[in-house]
A and B are shown apart, each in its own frame.
Chain A
């Protein structure tokens, strides 16, 4: 709650407008997505909060801003669709719930979860006898936030570190989701906090993968352990973990080759890497992070299941959220597998990897509706 209340201050004097306008007034970039909002948008630009916020900005505020920026596209399309849904809204009937289902499905939330939400909304609408579109839109947002926080605080987004000795984080995922990039960004983040970071290039398979991680090492100014291309990745992991223990590194980030979850032999290889690490340092890896591409559809759930089975994934990094994809699949993943997102990739630069905050995520995604709710 505090988060959007703070954001609310600036557009306070605005006349009541339709949602997309408010949304744009909070963004420093002007994107002509909504045609009927051209003039208010220009008016509002004058009182944009951007200018005065950064100097006094807290980290939290910064993050909120990033979510705003990163999710802007996602929000626009999804929010707009929901708005469309309510514009065409005349009475609650079966078609309405069908449409609601489809709208959620389009955010990649998935069929089952969409059905579940739609059912819960139906129950609530019927028991409350709500017919006002605004009230119903509130119900939807409530449901989404509830869905995400339902499983308690135990599954929060904090990374677990070893009490003493080096912590080891293992990065897994299918091909091309952004494992190496995420490692590069995370390494910079932890180095800035004074940790001695070591990277391990265990993707010995893909062409140029080792060089890619080495390049990140150079940029971040952290050491990289690398073997020869096509060599045994478990051997590289072993080298890295041993080096970390002997030379007193705080954190080892292990990059692995992308693999599709249905390749049994490649999944076994991952298991081997994990065993090797565990043998060297008991209780390691402290975190096994599954990197997910937010553009992925329903297959992401299968991915999460498969990787959870072989490598005991402890958390998710959701990448490429700065595009038009919504990454809605994280809802059913958390709901069914109790895996929570720990970090999100919101852009191309090193700083664009932020700790995941479910409230900010859901709020950011449905900001239009929430602003609408407060005013209405």
Chain B
């Protein structure tokens, strides 16, 4: 793949620096170039990149970064902080009207995912706030767009107001609102047709709908895969409609999603939600920090760095060591870890998040079957609680039973137990602060150190979950 994480890129630059032992102005120029290219590869708009890099550069100069002990880490952190800052450091909840209904209008280019997002958002409100939304089908242009919304409505059990395709969208909205008032719906979603921001006639139609409905929220739906053009789209819609927020869709793909930064930078409007999956439940609140990591292509590393920095506390560290020395990595932890990993996203991305793996050429372009992890979990779930806590008792007979229970071949169970034991050994070693033999895997130099920090943090997180679990078990 053409993309490599910024960490890796900076690594190369800094390896040169380390050899020289001195950082010059020209080196800083190279560093900034790497950052610029990393952002461009992530599809951040070039104008935005330029401004962004300048800001970072000024800061880098201002903070005496050249004398720092660990410049790579500092610069990455600087870039990340600036990214998060640009994308908005606070949550942006949905605007809500004082009296019902709250009117939400969806707009965007063709194929951005407006109708799907409408359904997802309506379902989210329904589940979280027991809302009674009404969906208004105002896309009369694309064939079967109304059918699509009607079917989405059926799937999530939300009423849809539609008049087929012969009526004027503005009239449809007017009558839809009337029906919402009659039925006391507390949310009204207006699903509009996809259009180009340069299509004056259709943009005027949106303005008309806006001045009729006075929406509390105008959400611009944007495909996360959008390239440099994201700026034009966002500006076009924002100028015409003064949007109140953005929804980024199709983030479950492997795009870097630089469009998020571009849009935020040119419109200043918050990204409120992200769509990341085919299911109706797959709509999440936007997390600027996660997006920043994604754009930089460095997975969760930054969160880990920060956590390590923040959490580091001698006493706590001792306590942790004490507990880990008891050697309690069991199958419960294993499943917990699998779950954590699965919650992070597609497998290939996660592989890169695992410290040290981003630099491992053998692991590039791996396609892991998402079902593999489910199979592993199934095997663990087929064990008795006793077996899970004390893996040593797993004799062949038990293994056969587990295999039958999980519906997997015995070889697979054996292989998994072997993997588990390796992992256990490693965790044990790491917890004692012994990285001997692991150095190769984690990478050398700065990245190695970062990886170690990340590893420690991971161990700590596991520990915390385990504590919680034990408490829960005790209560039972």
Contact = CB atoms under 8 A, between A and B. Distances in A.
B49 to A, nearest CB: 8
B158 to A, nearest CB: 13
At the interface, is chain B mostly helix, strand, loop or mixed? loop
Nearest to B280: A207
Contacts of B3: 298
B109 A260 contact: no
Interface stretch (A57-65, A143-151, A163-171, A316-324): A316-324
B362 interface: no
Contact of B109 (A175, A180, A323, A348): A323
B228 A108 contact: yes
Contact of B250 (A105, A208, A260): A260
B433 interface: no
Contact of A216 (B143, B196, B346): B143
Contacts of B144: 208-209, 211-215
Interface stretch (A36-44, A261-269, A356-364): A261-269
A323 B235 CA distance: 14
Contacts of B149: 207-208
A208 B367 contact: no
B226 interface: yes
Contacts of B2: 110-112, 298, 301
A299 B255 contact: yes
B225 A296 contact: yes
Interface stretch (B18-26, B40-48, B451-459): B40-48
A223 interface: no
A325 B43 contact: no
Interface in A96-119: 102, 105-108, 110-112
A134 B252 CA distance: 45
B89 to A, nearest CB: 25
A297 B225 contact: yes
Contacts of B346: 262-263
Given A297-B226, A298-B41, A329-B227, A260 B152 contact: no
A3 B335 CA distance: 65
A373 interface: no
B1 A302 contact: yes
A91 interface: no
Interface stretch (B99-107, B110-118, B418-426): B110-118
A176 B232 CA distance: 19
Interface string A260-288: 11111100000000000000000000000
A175 B142 CA distance: 16
B223 A265 contact: no
Residue among A205, A216, A295, A302 with the most chain B CB within 10 A?
Answer: A295
A178 interface: yes
B198 A295 contact: no
A339 interface: no
Given A176-B112, A207-B152, A184 B197 contact: no
A237 to B, nearest CB: 20
Nearest to B145: A208
Contacts of B147: 207-208, 211-212
A207 B151 contact: yes
A50 interface: no
Contacts of B112: 176
Contacts of A264: 367-370
B30 to A, nearest CB: 13
Residue among A110, A205, A211, A323 with the most chain B CB within 10 A?
Answer: A323
Contact of B46 (A102, A214, A296, A300): A102
A300 B369 CA distance: 22
A138 B318 CA distance: 68
Given A73-B198, A106-B228, A298-B43, A176 B145 contact: no
B233 interface: yes
A176 B1 contact: no
Contacts of B119: 207
Nearest to B152: A207
Interface in A214-235: 214-216, 219, 229
A97 to B, nearest CB: 12
Contacts of B476: none
A323 B196 contact: yes
A367 interface: no
Contact of B110 (A107, A178, A208, A302): A178
Contacts of A326: 228-229
Contacts of B205: none
Contacts of B236: 324
Interface in B341-365: 346, 348
Given A111-B2, A216-B143, A265-B371, A324 B227 contact: no
Contacts of A184: 143
A324 B148 contact: no
Given A212-B142, A295-B109, A176 B227 contact: no
Interface string A117-140: 000000000000000000000000
B259 interface: yes
B253 interface: yes
B143 A322 contact: no
B148 A206 contact: yes
Interface in A2-60: none
B96 interface: no
Interface string B275-296: 0001000000000000000000
Interface in B40-71: 40-43, 45-46, 50
B229 A325 contact: yes
Given A209-B148, A297-B43, A324 B225 contact: no
A262 B254 contact: yes
B5 interface: no
A73 B236 CA distance: 13
B345 to A, nearest CB: 10
A297 B255 contact: yes
Contact of B148 (A177, A211, A265, A296): A211
A262 B253 contact: yes
Contact of B143 (A77, A212, A262): A212
Contacts of A111: 2, 37, 40-41
Nearest to A104: B46
B267 to A, nearest CB: 16
Interface in B310-368: 346, 348, 367-368
A258 to B, nearest CB: 8
19 contacts: A106-B45, A106-B228, A107-B228, A108-B227, A174-B253, A176-B110, A207-B151, A208-B149, A212-B142, A219-B143, A263-B252, A295-B233, A296-B227, A297-B226, A297-B227, A298-B256, A300-B225, A324-B232, A326-B229
Interface of A: 73, 77, 102, 105-108, 110-112, 174-178, 180-181, 184, 205-209, 211-216, 219, 229, 260-265, 293, 295-302, 320, 322-326, 329, 348
